[in-house]
Amino acid sequence: MSLLSGVVARPIGACVIAVAVVVLGLLSWQRLGVALLPPVESPIITVRADRPGSSATELEEQVLEPLQDVLSTLPGLVAMQGRTTSERVEVQLALDASADVAATIERLRERLASWRRPRGLSEPRILRYDPGAEPLMRLTLRARPQGPNLPALAVAAREDLLPQLESRPSVASALIRGAQDIELQVQVNEAALRALGLSINQVHTAIRDGVETRSAGSIRTSDGNQAIHLRGPITLPEHLPSLPLPGGVRLEDVAEVQQRRSESEELATSLQNGMVEDALLIEILVQSEAPVVAAADDLRHFLNRIAQPQGEGVWDFAGGELHLLSDASMPIRTAIDEVIAAMALGALLAGLVLLLFLRSFASAAVVFLSVPLSVCGAFLVLAAADVTVNLMSLGGLALGIGMLVDNAIVVIESARRHQSGHRRREREVAVARGTGEVASAVIAATLTTLVVFVPLMYAPGILGDLLSDLAWAVVASLGASLAVALLITPPLLTISRQGQWQPLPPRIHAGYDQELPGGWRHPRWWALSLLPASSLLALSWSAPLSHIALASAAIWLVIASAWLWQLRQGSFWRWAVRLPLRLGNLALSWLRWWLLLAPVLLLALLAGLRRRVAGGGLGSRLFSSALGILESLGQAIARAYGLAIERVVKRPALGLLVLMVLVGMGAALGPELPRRLLPEQTNRAFTMSVDLPRSNDVEASGRWSQNFLQALHDLDPQLQAIAIAGEDGRFSPTLDRRQAHQVQVLIQRPQASPSLAEEAYFLTRLERQALAAGALGAAVWAPPLFTIGGTQQDALAIALRGGNEAQLRQSALEWQAQLRLLGAGGVRTSATDQTQELQIIADAGRLSEAGLSWQQFQDRLAAATSITSIESFRPRFDGFTPSPSILPIRVHGSLREAPISALADLDMGDESRPLPLASIARIERLQSSGTIHHRDGRRVATLSATSLPPGISPSAMVAELQRQSPLPPGMSVLDYGLDALTNSHLLALAGLLVLAVFLVLVVMAVQFENLAQPLIVLLGVPMALAGALPALWFTGHGLNVMSGIGLVVLAGISVNNAIVLVTTINLRRYSGLSPLEAIADGARTRLRPIAMTTLTTVLALIPLSLGWGEASALRAPLAVAVIGGMASSSMLILFGLPAILAFIHGRGANPTQPPA
């Protein structure tokens, strides 16, 4: 008691500490980084290797299978997936969530170093899954009608824009997509070469010698060492045709040299502002550790400096239009702003609850002060722990908004009950006594919540990464609220005025009368008036159009307040004369000063209304009537609860029966809840993958893209999109490189659909539009805001294993057709990924007869069918068609674009004896898998769908597929999609829930010094689940990671009311009441605080539970679970817990602690 007495006697020190906490907390807020979610360390490692010229089948046998054997015994390995495509192998290793990824990578390096690589295979590369690999920004660059053409803009972007973007500290790389390079093409005439006795290798060597610059040593002079460089004779592209070759001939005698555009590997077409035209796509990738929002702001400011802004998201660069297509920071920015707004609205609702119950502005302000103080204190801890501002940390703060005032409410209610006088010393004694009475209960209740979150800070795996920031925020804010309730709130209560310490003020204005200084002549009145006036002036300084509305409002306030004030002043004319004398100069000097009149007159109106109410008029009767209704309602509820609790205590069996029925009904809904990994939400950005006929080249796919984008514009004129036909291998981060007949469409909508059903309909229309335009297949999905353990763009992802290659392919194709018939969208299978290749089988005997070695045969065949890159020139500009800074030279074989029949007639002999290829080798056309998938060392066929019919889970869909199209014997289904991830993460959350309950039991056992009462208090957890599960079912959220976090949170906060109730009953027992009397009296006493704490928590979370804006689906399930659980636990604790205690007492046990 002496410590609390010392704290209570120092209100000035408490105020100074509070100010210091606010100042330091706001400074810490400025240091916090901003992100959508905490950085997630995914336990997935990828091993990738290349071998040029190898097919997928060759790589499967020679590389993939031996590599999987080496990696299969890696410690901590959970699953292994392998893939091969033409020239590339990839093995993806999924580790246990608790595995040490860094140590595993070191062991992996050792194994790869000791592995004997097959001939021609590059050194395997170890890659980590990186969520930051998705571009931060996508920009489109389009040509203007009278400006530079697209190739010229590509050169300007490559030489000027991209280097400057990559110079920014947060940018990892900047890529330009859809650009066509200009190159020197050397088309060799094989017949002319043979006639002159030359080989293709001699042509290559002559070109290299003609254009290359080589080092030729150095000489020592008086100026020091001078390097010597030998430069080839060909320095300009025009000189290349005259390059001399062996035998006295020139290059133009055996080849045609042309400066042309290179073969396109990808083309980009954009739809913006209703116009469809070719464009360049610029992708900006951010550093993985860089804050996304800060990086986006830096890039926007930088673009405004190096390019001329033409509007929001539009710049003039090098004579072309640079448009911002997508910005990954915008969803983060809006989601964070919405959570902050929800926090502010929740705090306001909690404040209204405090005013309603406390009926004193000063008392409510003292209690509400714990919210900003606790949040600022939390900022200090978050900055020290290097926690960013993200949905999880802000969600933790928003979750705690309603709980932050709980401790202060308990303290002030206890202090009020001990108030006996109005002198300062009497108030100090009352506050110290009341605080000391509930201090242990407040500490225990806070600890029960904290022990739930502390283990979450150090939980392993991806789930731990997500929960850590939320746990830090809740622990920091609740710890700060405990300190505020015990160290700041009690001394501030002693400063309260006499009128605010009446336990039940008879009139609503009793708590407000002393807050505003009386009279407009008082200096403090002007201080209160000018403060908001100056703030409004600053905020609206750049909004001159608002002056008209503000001036009109000021005139209305003058007229309205004139009637009110004349009653208090006794003379309307006296007031009418004095007001212009005091405010006229300010109001007439400049129109902006009208902003001062609105808040001043508004406060004057409130002051006059206050006096009118105090004098007893119409307003007084209205307020009194409203207060009477509220007080009557509150008293009626208290009386009804008192009568009900008396009956419950006398007949506890009936109360227990009702309690068991309600808990059982709530628990029965648990199995009915849909299970998902992440909540479903509507989106504005979508990605479409389109398959066209394999005969399409990139140009044909580009033309299809133009027609399709025009159809999209007709479908929705507000859509913006860009279509990329094919894919440049340099920009493909995965094995899923698009071929020339494949198109990716990135689509942006101005607003998300209002419901998931409308979004599904929109996606279906997009797929149908693509199929109607000639596509063979189309799949569209919304990229997730964040991923757990890889991509979650597919609603269904399974694999078929067993049987031979033909059986796998046939079964996968049948299931693909069934999935489409069952209503799934975006159905794809690896069985359709087939490629054609030519296999040339040489006859060794005929090769020997023709005098050809195997190497000569291979070199001549490669020279006729391949493209060889030799060297490059420096740029040369010509108007709007400049040559690039590096002009490649590529030697094209004569059969590069010839039919197969020409390959059979290829002359493999010399000038003296023709030798057709068909005479010494057999040509066969084969069809094989373009991509081969392995799962745990065995070949599989993958099957996926981006959407399923509403109400159908992936497991239910697989069961239906097996019923309609049974698999052959020996084949099985592997689930490596969302179902497996969902089950593993929900099981992990269930384990955390059990751990939370155990830790709460430990804390309460220490607090109560027995096990009976903690076990009774723990019944608050199933009471909370009885409301949380129905709330999730009614709102359609179901069980997912976010709602699971809410259930874990409930384990800590649902028992707080039970702890305080049992503590109060124990105190009543110590005061000499009988057990049943103590139970009834304790329940009646705790009705008001429990109602207040529950309402503040629930109302503070209501804004989070409402689904609006970006990422609303991520925060709503958590809030809904807590709201439903808190509402049910509070109601059931008020009725069920007394029934349980009375029932146990009736059985002869001693559930409460009697006096010693």
**pLDDT(664) > 60:** yes
Instruction: Retrieve residue 719's tokens.
Output: 């859509």
pLDDT for 1152 equals 55
Span(s) in the chain for CATH 3.30.70.1320 = 135-181+264-327+682-784
Q: Which of 557-571, 697-711, 896-910, 1007-1021 has the lowest mean pLDDT?
A: 557-571
Q: Measured between alpha carbons, how far is 225 from 373 in angstroms, rounded to an integer? A: 71
Work out the pLDDT band at 882, boundaries 50, 70, 90: very low
Work out the pLDDT band at 526, boundaries 50, 70, 90: very low
Q: Which of 505-514, 562-571, 682-691, 971-980 has the lowest mean pLDDT?
A: 505-514
pLDDT digits (tens, 9 = 90+) for 1061-1116: 888 888 888 887 888 888 888 888 888 778 877 887 787 788 777 756 666 777 78
Q: Which of 142-156, 366-380, 573-587, 712-726 has the lowest mean pLDDT?
A: 573-587
Q: Measured between alpha carbons, how far is 494 from 340 in angstroms, rounded to an integer? A: 33
Pick the CATH number of 182-214+237-261+835-929 from 3.30.2090.10, 3.50.50.60, 1.10.8.60, 3.30.70.270: 3.30.2090.10
pLDDT digits (tens, 9 = 90+) for 216-264: 777 877 777 777 767 777 777 777 888 888 878 888 888 888 777 666 6
Q: How many CB atoms lie within 10 A of CB 822?
A: 16
Pick the CATH number of 135-181+264-327+682-784 from 3.30.70.1320, 3.40.50.300, 3.20.20.70, 1.10.150.120: 3.30.70.1320
CA 897 to each of CA 189, 263, 265, 482, 772: distance values in angstroms, whole numbers, following the listed order: 14, 12, 15, 78, 31
Amino acid letter at 400?
A: G
Q: Find the mean pLDDT for residues 374-397.
A: 83
Q: Find the mean pLDDT for residues 738-751.
A: 86
Percent of the chain with pLDDT over 90: 2
CA 716 to each of CA 205, 725, 747, 749: distance values in angstroms, whole numbers, following the listed order: 57, 22, 11, 9
**pLDDT(596) > 50:** no
Q: Where is pLDDT greater, at 373 or 528?
A: 373
**pLDDT(479) > 80:** yes
pLDDT digits (tens, 9 = 90+) for 74-110: 888 888 888 888 788 888 888 876 677 788 888 888 8
Span(s) in the chain for CATH 3.30.2090.10 = 182-214+237-261+835-929
pLDDT for 562 equals 45
Instruction: Retrieve residue 519's tokens.
Output: 């009279």
pLDDT for 705 equals 92
CA 963 to each of CA 188, 330, 960, 966, 1066: distance values in angstroms, whole numbers, following the listed order: 60, 45, 5, 6, 62
Q: Measured between alpha carbons, how far is 607 from 602 in angstroms, rounded to an integer? A: 9
Helix H or strand E segment including 214: strand 213-221
Instruction: Sort 585 into a burial class: Cβ within 10 Å, 0-12 / 13-18 / 19+.
Output: exposed
pLDDT for 978 equals 59
pLDDT digits (tens, 9 = 90+) for 562-584: 444 444 444 444 444 444 444 44
Secondary structure of 181-209 as H, E, C letters = CEEEEEEECHHHHHHHCCCHHHHHHHHHH
Q: Taking the domain 44-128, which CATH number applies? A: 3.30.70.1430
pLDDT for 1053 equals 78
Region class of 985: left (phi > 0), else alpha (psi between -120 and 50), else beta: alpha
pLDDT for 240 equals 80
Q: Find the mean pLDDT for residues 347-351.
A: 72
Q: What is the mean pLDDT of the chain?
A: 75
CA 191 to each of CA 21, 186, 542: distance values in angstroms, whole numbers, following the listed order: 87, 15, 78
Work out the pLDDT band at 839, boundaries 50, 70, 90: confident
pLDDT for 468 equals 82
Q: Find the mean pLDDT for residues 591-611.
A: 42
pLDDT digits (tens, 9 = 90+) for 530-548: 444 443 443 344 334 344 4
Cβ–Cβ under 8 Å, residues 383 and 469: no
Q: Find the mean pLDDT for residues 622-634.
A: 61
Q: Measured between alpha carbons, how far is 1083 from 806 in angstroms, rounded to an integer? A: 73
Q: Where is pLDDT greater, at 758 or 914?
A: 758
**pLDDT(917) > 60:** yes
Span(s) in the chain for CATH 1.20.1640.10 = 2-36+333-512+633-675+983-1146
pLDDT for 259 equals 75
Q: Find the mean pLDDT for residues 970-974.
A: 86
pLDDT for 895 equals 65
pLDDT digits (tens, 9 = 90+) for 785-813: 655 554 456 778 888 988 888 888 889 89
Cβ–Cβ under 8 Å, residues 362 and 515: yes
pLDDT for 706 equals 92
Q: Where is pLDDT greater, at 764 or 609?
A: 764
Q: Find the mean pLDDT for residues 460-464.
A: 68
Q: Find the mean pLDDT for residues 998-1003.
A: 81
pLDDT digits (tens, 9 = 90+) for 151-182: 888 888 888 888 888 888 888 888 888 877 67
Evaluate if pTM is beyond 0.85. no
pLDDT for 2 equals 60
Q: Measured between alpha carbons, how far is 389 from 361 in angstroms, rounded to an integer? A: 32
pLDDT for 622 equals 53
Give one DSSP letter per residue of 325-386, joined into a string. Answer: EEETHHHHHHHHHHHHHHHHHHHHHHHHHHHHHH--HHHHHHHHTHHHHHHHHHHHHHHHTT
pLDDT for 631 equals 65
CATH topology for 2-36+333-512+633-675+983-1146? Multidrug efflux transporter AcrB transmembrane fold (1.20.1640)
pLDDT digits (tens, 9 = 90+) for 767-785: 889 988 988 888 888 876 6
**pLDDT(126) > 60:** yes
pLDDT digits (tens, 9 = 90+) for 1119-1153: 888 889 988 888 888 888 888 888 887 655 555 55
Helix H or strand E segment including 1155: none
**pLDDT(708) > 90:** yes
pLDDT digits (tens, 9 = 90+) for 889-904: 767 666 666 666 677 7
